Amino acid sequence: MSDPLPMSRPAPRLTGRIKTEPEDFIVEELPAYLPSGEGEHLFLWIEKRDVPAEQLLRHVARSLEVDQRDIGAAGMKDRRGVTRQWMSVPARAHERVAGIDTDRIRVLSQSRHGNKLRTGHLTGNRFSILVRDVASSEGPMDAAEAVVQLTPLVDEIRQFGFANFFGDQRFGREGETLQLGLDLLAGRKTPRDIPYSRRRFLLKLSLSAVQSDLFNQALKRRIVDGLLHTVLPGDVMEVVASGGKFTAEDATVEQPRRDAGETAITGPLFGPKMRLPTGAVAEREGRLLEQSGLTMESFRTFPDLLSGTRRPYAIRPGELLLTADPDGVRLDFTLPPGVYATTLLGALIILEGERGASAPCDAAE
């Protein structure tokens, strides 16, 4: 069965640059809930400019004189950009909050809440991204002409979605984060081989990089086989509105629901709690694991960090707008947690330059 939807188009012809300036890449977290105003935790609405996520965490802990483990965040945010997000800290540190502010970090507001903020406690992220130096194979192009060229691709993504790859930045420079995760799962390294000051952060990041790489491989195989948008019997489906999962038994029944945007086909983020597909889909994922040199047992080594879940293969962005800007082309859109903005941009424009193609992008989980 081949994919009936027109996503096998040629690679985009236009090129452009992002993150030339931090203000070219604006990300704002969409929280799952707002603080209640009462409780033992203090929620801080923080804006940072050109600051890595790990550095922000260390700075907040140091400024408030609290342990990093007592700080909650819904997800990591980009270094190169202007980003706004909630973080929770122990309310006892409220008198030292003013000490967080620097020329690149600001606390915009604060309020108490009863629970610590946990990873994934957000509904998504809102992006406003400026693409500069847009050009075609024939040379530079003005913004209005670029909008005309890109509009059909934008319309296609609105209708069908785009392939939900993890960005290359997930895997570290030259794949070093991914390699660390593979070494940990294979027993070639232990957490003690990671410097203590970065152990908690890098342990989680490197292990999730292995899950992410395997998902990307599974997604590539669906695309190569023409099955990105085709429901197979045994696929684990996700209800878009609720996130609930179920197994597709009759593909002819489930395909129209997928095409209407009610459901999404999911791929594996391997772990002991991941819902398993059945039939031919289970065989596909089993072959992937076997060829990677891993087994399901490999992921039981770190059960708290590798519980496992499913991730949609394709994503329809929310509120996707394309407009001409005096300095280039601007895209405004929202994405669910953990979806990479650069993956969406790459479906439209070939991103050139170090700060465009390899700079970290949103990786909220």
Q: Which of 3, 50, 78, 103 is catalytic?
A: 78
Whether residue 78 lies in the annotated active site: yes
Q: For the packed helices 196-224 and 176-186, what is the interaxial angle rounded to 10 degrees?
A: 100
Q: What is the CA radius of gyration of the chain?
A: 21
Please list the active-site residues. 78
